[in-house]
Structure 1
Amino acid sequence: MGADLVTALIGAVIAGAAGLLLGKLNAFKKKKGRSPLWLGALLFAVVLIGLLYFEERPDETGQTDGGGKPVAGTTISAPYVRAEGEMLVHYINVGQGASQLLVGPTGKTMLIDAGNNDKEEMIVAYLQRAGIKKIDILVGTHPDADHIGGLDAVIDHFDIGQFYMPKVQSNTKTYEDVLLAAKKKGIKVDSAKADVNLKWDSGATARIVAPIGDYSDTNEMSAVIRVAYGETSFLLTGDAESKSETDLVASGTNLKADVLLIGHHGSNSSTSDPFLERVGPKYAVIQSGKNNYGHPTPEILAKLAGKNITVLRNDTSGNIVFVSNGKSLDIKLDPWEYIKGKAK
């Protein structure tokens, strides 16, 4: 039974009980001139229960943790306003694609990927809605269209600081459009590779940990970035698959993260057991939409559930925003959508 139906049934029961008791009170008053105290107290208790249930109950995100329990988060109707000293990590709902917006504790911004070509208007609108004026660091994890399709629009509409992409050749128009947009604005494309410390926000650290080697598969060449703020950390993986994951584990680099972006939209080609063990996340975010690939696969979901990792998904919860104060994490869910030139 769906959560909305359960809520409606409970509401109906509470309202019915309150109406019945109110009717009894009125009947006693008409017949005897007054109503018994116990009946008034019972009515008060029913109303109080209703208020507590509907005002204090946590939002149900539609997500489940590793044990199948609903994840409690706060649904927001407007962009979350960052408080001083907070870091935000937005997992933007771009459908079958990926995009993450980071706002550091001092306000510096980083955008990693920008969804597919048909999400150009949407990604620009999302950034504008969030009050973004400049992208201090822009990253295209690898040349696949569902990751870099919107980057040219971002370059056209915003001031860009540094721009990173791995050294991968591609002859697609999407890739060429991104390079042309950068060239028109005189933006240099720096190489995204392992052991690059990004000069981003003074309150946080950001380090590219992969690709470590040269791979024939463009997915394996994905830029993987670890971001840490205080005691909290995030690992953002692009479409990195098992070969890159194996090399990362063997390298001994710090992969520990509270929040892991599941590689390749939840494909079986990523999230290998040794890699997942090394990262040890509390939360896993899956960026996927309607697709014919079976993403995320039942095997990956079962693996995460078996390790009691809380799973959040764009395809069921919309935009997902993690808020870090350097010690703990809070989850905000933003259902905002942009469809056919109109936000809703």
Structure 2
Amino acid sequence: MKKTLFVMLLLVFVFLTGCTTNSSSLNTETKKATVVNGTMKVHFIDVGQGDAILIQQGESTMLIDAGDNQYGETVVNYLKDQGVQTLDYVIGTHPHADHIGGLDVVINNFEVKKIIMPKVGHTTKTYEDLLLAIKNKGLKITTPVVGETNDLGDSQFTIIGPNAESYNSLNDYSVAIKLAYGNTSFVFTGDAEENAEKEMLALGIDLKADVLKIPHHGSSSSLSDAFLKAVAPKIGVIQLGADNDYGHPHEETMAKLAGVELYRTDNNGTVVIESDGTNLSVKTQKAGNDTSTANTQKVVQQENTATTADTGSYIGNINSHVYHTVTCSSLPLEKNRVYFDTEEEAIAAGYRPHEECNK
């Protein structure tokens, strides 16, 4: 009882007032970063069965989660190796230890300007340690407001979850964001499950993104068909530990991701995706043993540069059997393409038109 009261008092001290949603003024178009200066790097740090994501754009940095308790120093050392001295934003997606366990160590080692966490408590020593670290630094917690957009250097992120005041599962409280840099974009949803995904879909926000941090370590309780279709990622990253006790990633999830360029921290170690505002390049710490994973640096072209003279007027996706016009913004990866001179040729080969570019 005393421990619960202590945690509640800490919560009162460190939380700023705020509401979870702002649907009355919600802009359904997530804002794009129109100015591009240099590159943006997104580091999916290998912290075993947990999440830790560093985002760098120019001199600005953000950390989303920091793995379990034993990975605090790992994350601190990684950030220092990347030249990080100040964190403009720290997001603790939700109070589970595999996400916030190392955050107290991070907060103790860096200057932190703003902390975003959902307004939900947890009576664990791990959560108490985090609140104490925040209090001792004289910081306050900002409650996420859905629809709010913040600048991170020349990139911008919009909060897209959580969308309710209370849930049955702590996972659904996960702070979710869409990050944009130039014409490239990422979606991060922590451990949000299907219930929270439905709420994000109901907002009417443009969720389409080039990269999706696969929610909940590849669990079948997340990544509904509707949510995956809305995001339609070219690249997916799963953060998980090798031979974990949960059986992640689940077979059902892997089957859904068959057409996505997939990276896994259990196979690849730390994964770094760099954007110049148009193209994405991917570097992995180690080669991995998954045949769907690229083992060396890969560049993903975001703009079509093909001409009809040397390729064809229509581009088909060999996985989905959907064909696109050459100017479509949702072209498949080069390795998944097949070219057709006419629509009739594509249809005869068993391909169907992409709804958006063939209107």
TM-score by length of 2: 0.68
Report what 1:85 is aligned to: 38
Report what 1:144 is aligned to: 96
Q: Are 2:127 and 1:175 equivalent residues in the alignment? A: yes
Q: Shift of the alpha carbon at 1:199?
A: 3.8
Percent identical pairs in the alignment equals 47
Higher helix fraction (1 or 2):
1
The answer (yes or no) to whether the contact 1:193–1:223 under 8 Å persists in 2 is no
Counterpart selection for 2:250 from 277, 297, 301: 297
Q: Which amino acid aligns with 1:184?
A: N
List per-residue Cα deviations over 1:144-183 (Å, max 9, x = no partner): 0000000000000000011110001111111111110010
* Distance across 2 between alignment mates of 1:114 and 1:303: 27
Report what 1:242 is aligned to: 194
Counterpart selection for 1:331 from 273, 282, 306: 282
Q: How many residues align?
A: 250
The answer (yes or no) to whether the contact 2:146–2:162 under 8 Å persists in 1 is yes
Superposition map of 1:35-46 within 5 A: none
Q: Shift of the alpha carbon at 1:216?
A: 2.4
Q: Which amino acid aligns with 1:91?
A: F
Q: Are 2:46 and 1:99 equivalent residues in the alignment? A: no
Report what 1:166 is aligned to: 118
Please list every run of 5 or more consecutive structure 1 residues that lacks an aligned counterpart in the other structure: 1-82, 337-344
Q: Which amino acid aligns with 1:90?
A: H
- 3-state SS of the aligned residue for 2:173? coil
Q: Are 2:155 and 1:204 equivalent residues in the alignment? A: yes
* Distance across 1 between alignment mates of 2:98 and 2:61: 21
Structure with higher Rg: it is: 1
Report what 1:116 is aligned to: 68
Report what 1:222 is aligned to: 174
More contact order relative to length (CA 8 Å, sep ≥ 6) = 1
The answer (yes or no) to whether the contact 1:166–1:193 under 8 Å persists in 2 is no
Q: Which amino acid aligns with 1:130?
A: Q
The answer (yes or no) to whether the contact 2:211–2:236 under 8 Å persists in 1 is yes
Q: Which amino acid aligns with 1:270?
A: S
Q: Shift of the alpha carbon at 1:194?
A: 1.6
* Distance across 2 between alignment mates of 1:162 and 1:314: 27
* Distance across 2 between alignment mates of 1:217 and 1:121: 29
Q: Shift of the alpha carbon at 1:133?
A: 0.5
Q: Which amino acid aligns with 2:229?
A: E
* Distance across 2 between alignment mates of 1:156 and 1:182: 9
- 3-state SS of the aligned residue for 1:278? helix
Q: Which amino acid aligns with 1:176?
A: E
Report what 1:53 is aligned to: none
Q: Shift of the alpha carbon at 1:294?
A: 0.6
The answer (yes or no) to whether the contact 2:267–2:286 under 8 Å persists in 1 is no
Counterpart selection for 1:271 from 223, 245, 249: 223
Report what 1:186 is aligned to: 138
Q: Shift of the alpha carbon at 1:84?
A: 5.9
Please list every run of 5 or more consecutive structure 2 residues that lacks an aligned counterpart in the other structure: 1-35, 288-359
